Amino acid sequence: MKRTREFEHYDGCGYDDPDNCSACALTDLRQDSPNYAAWPLAYIENDRAIPGKWFKAFLEELKDDNQAYVDNLYQTVAKYGVRFNRVSTRPLG
């Protein structure tokens, strides 16, 4: 599976800029869910475990109003699977 670059911090980000850095937005566990559109796809397509804290947020993504997005999410999960971790610490990126 081809990796994407969402989990790469921009130069000078400082690892604490979830409003402007996709890697920070996707790994900031202070949030109830990532502030990043289609965030489950970013995790799955990069073969990363979704933090267990966001399990309920993942289930909510499966109920999104955008049926094309939901269909794509289901297809991606069927093709690659989805993993969750139980650790509730902030990943380093």
pLDDT at position 61: 98
pLDDT at position 59: 97
The whole domain housing 33 covers 22-85
pLDDT at position 24: 96
pLDDT at position 78: 97
pLDDT at position 4: 86
Q: Is 14 inside any structural domain?
A: no
What is the pTM (predicted TM-score) of this model? 0.87
Q: Is 12 inside any structural domain?
A: no
Q: Is 30 inside any structural domain?
A: yes
**Which helix (H) or strand (E) covers residue 68, if one does?**
helix 67-80
pLDDT at position 3: 82
What is the number of structural domains in the chain? 1
pLDDT at position 63: 97
Q: Is 26 inside any structural domain?
A: yes
For the chain, 93 residues long, the average pLDDT of each consecutive 10-residue run is 87 93 95 95 96 96 98 97 78 49
Give the CA angle between residues 21, 24, 30 to the nearest 5°.
135
**Cα separation of 7 and 27, whole Å?**
8
Q: Is 51 inside any structural domain?
A: yes
